[in-house]
Amino acid sequence: MSQPSGPNAAALAADRSRAPGTLGVTIAAAKADRRAALIGYLPVGYPDIDTSIDAMRAMVAAGVDVVEVGVPYSDPGMDGPTIQAAVDPAVRADAGAAAVVMTYWNPVERYGVTRFAADLAGAGGSGAITPDLIPDEAAPWIAASDASGLDRVFLVAPSSTDARLASTAAACRGFVYAASTMGVTGARDTVGATARILVARVRAVSPKSAVCVGLGVSTGRQAGEVAQFADGVIVGSALVRCLLDSPDAAGISALARLAADLADGVRDTP
């Protein structure tokens, strides 16, 4: 793939002079502590807004560095069955969120890209992860996120070409989201070598980019494995499962225990 051109190139050139956003500062702080950052995902509004917020607070208290807040969407093509099961009721509840938001692109377009960026920044959000948006088609979001001082995170996958890795890393601010496996989200028993190879490939074309790995991590041991080669470890389905199994205080307690185990994992790496 070719490098971004036109409006994208101009926006990216201007962006290179900007100071790191909140995500970059957080990941850098973790690196200074000689560890990877821990990023925990939960969909806002499941099983209800108050419980989801309590669960996010519990994650932070247990050692999660960044909360990735999932914005409910009726057609989450990348999410596996665990996350879809939690997001669907939240869609019906029409919940909103502010923080490091994970959202598919259609809701942002319907909301209005400039308005979304301004409102997210105004509510205290750090930025957004857009899993189905590629930098080549992201000129409006790049401009809006620049104007509002937001981080923006795009995804790379094992199938990405070196040119695609380079252009995506250049468009990111905060970190590059490395999807460690092909397919949808979901906890897995093992974390394969594919993730390590993908991180190395991103760093080869963009040495200064922070690279965080998601899709599949579900235990502290796995988090520790990934933390040995990535700047951040992203955990979603395993945390969501705690609330699906028990959408109440007991589920939040289970989630907090898992978050603590994951936090220990990223902190105990050699």
Is residue 225 part of the annotated active site? The answer reads no
79 is catalytic: yes
Q: Which of 165, 119, 154 is nearest to 3 (CA)?
A: 165
Of 184, 171, 93, the closest CA to residue 127 belongs to: 171
CA distances for 117 relative to 14, 66, 89, 122, 198, angstroms: 18, 19, 25, 8, 30
Find the catalytic residue in 68, 151, 231, 261.
68
Given 15, 33, 50, 79, which residue is catalytic? Answer: 79
Phi/psi of residue 130, nearest 5 degrees: -120, 90
> Is the Cα torsion angle 97, 27, 235, 256 positive or negative in sign?
negative
First-last CA distance in the chain:
37
Cβ–Cβ under 8 Å, residues 234 and 217 = yes
Active site positions, annotated: 68, 79
